[in-house]
């Protein structure tokens, strides 16, 4: 019997600075997904606070409390849940993706590449290590939003055995084509599944288009979100991934000693 995972991206309009409202939305979303048998749920970047730069240090102090709630929801629904939140760190914060497996924090990834164009580097500190983590569903590789533009990171995660790349993001409308193209490229070149959750709605001057995606190892679109709030779900079939890797054995044919 082939191994499969029911994976979902949770796409919603993050209320900037309003942690309680965002947590309440997530509670409802995960309950809906649980009824449909979802096993893996990926949330947007900074899902509990948004980029409330002026309040970020203060809001980050509540992150441990929100992590506890995430653990509770993950355990209650028997899910793996991944989403990024501000993590306190001195005078700045990390943008940290927490990986919760049925109530247990099994890993966290601090965003390495900070988007200087939007001034992220002025308020956040960047992480210094990648993450591939074992869960009861398989091995997950994690990156956050702007990390998507750096194929070296995705390749590292793939080489380390990631079967699913999970991507929490806040990716704005002017670069919508890049979002889809880069996500498909990361799936195709690494022959694995990608589950990417983007937010939607308007935050200040930024318009977020949604367009969350679940992509197969050939680059095929398994599910795609529109511009409104909602959840999208697809079945990831690992035997299909294994068969494709046998047909085109890219990993066996790599020559990393030459590049």
Say whether pLDDT at 75 is over 80: yes
The radius of gyration computed from the CA coordinates of the chain, to the nearest angstrom, equals: 17
- Residue 65 token pair: 């409390």
The answer to whether 45 is a known catalytic residue is: yes
Q: Of the listed 108, 120, 145, 163, which one is catalytic?
A: 145
pLDDT digits (tens, 9 = 90+) for 9-61: 999 999 999 999 999 999 999 999 999 999 999 999 999 999 998 999 999 99
pLDDT of res. 247: 97
pLDDT digits (tens, 9 = 90+) for 136-186: 999 999 999 999 999 999 999 999 999 999 999 999 988 999 999 999 999
Classified as helix, coil or strand, 7 is strand
pLDDT digits (tens, 9 = 90+) for 195-244: 999 999 988 788 899 999 999 999 999 999 999 999 999 999 999 999 99
Mean pLDDT of 89-99: 95
Q: Of the listed 38, 45, 120, 199, which one is catalytic?
A: 45
Contact partners, residue 218, CB within 8 Å, separation at least 6: 187, 188, 191, 244
- Contact at 8 Å (CB) between 8 and 41? yes
The fold of the 4-258 domain, in CATH, is: Nitrilase/N-carbamoyl-D-aminoacid amidohydrolase (3.60.110)
Buried b (16+ CB within 10 A) or exposed e, 54-63: eebbebbebb
DSSP states along 208-241: EE---EEE-TTS-EEEE--SSSEEEEEEEEHHHH
Q: Of the listed 108, 111, 120, 199, which one is catalytic?
A: 111
> Angle at the Cα of 88 (from 85 to 94), degrees rounded to 5?
55
Q: What is the pTM of this model?
A: 0.97
Mean pLDDT of 121-135: 95
- Contact at 8 Å (CB) between 19 and 61? no
CA distance linking residue 166 with residue 212, whole number of Å: 11
The answer to whether 111 is a known catalytic residue is: yes
CA distance linking residue 112 with residue 206, whole number of Å: 22
The answer to whether 257 is a known catalytic residue is: no
Say whether pLDDT at 1 is over 70: no
């Amino acid at each position: 019997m082939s191994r499969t995972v029911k994976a979902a991206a949770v796409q919603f309009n993050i209320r900037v600075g309003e942690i309680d409202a965002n947590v309440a939305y997530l509670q409802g979303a995960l309950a809906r997904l649980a009824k449909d048998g979802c096993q893996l749920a990926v949330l947007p970047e900074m899902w509990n606070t948004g980029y409330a730069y002026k309040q970020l240090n203060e809001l980050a102090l509540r992150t441990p409390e929100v992590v506890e709630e995430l653990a509770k929801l993950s355990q209650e629904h028997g899910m793996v849940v991944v989403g990024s939140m501000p993590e306190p760190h001195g005078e700045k914060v990390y943008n940290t993706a927490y990986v919760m497996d049925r109530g247990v924090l099994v890993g966290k990834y601090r965003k390495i590449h900070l988007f200087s164009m939007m001034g992220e580097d002025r308020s956040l500190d960047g992480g210094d290590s990648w993450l591939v983590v074992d869960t009861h569903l398989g091995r997950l590789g994690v990156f956050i939003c702007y990390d998507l533009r750096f194929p070296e990171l995705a390749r590292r995660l793939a080489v380390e055995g990631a079967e699913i790349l999970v991507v929490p993001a806040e990716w704005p409308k002017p670069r919508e084509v890049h979002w889809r193209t880069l996500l498909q490229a990361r799936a195709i070149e690494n022959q694995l599944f990608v589950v990417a959750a983007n937010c939607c709605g308007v935050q200040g001057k930024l318009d977020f288009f949604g367009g969350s995606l679940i992509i197969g190892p050939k680059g095929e679109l398994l599910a795609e979100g529109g511009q409104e709030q909602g959840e999208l779900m697809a079945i990831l079939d690992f035997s299909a991934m294994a068969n494709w890797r046998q047909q085109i054995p890219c990993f066996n044919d790599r020559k990393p000693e030459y590049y």
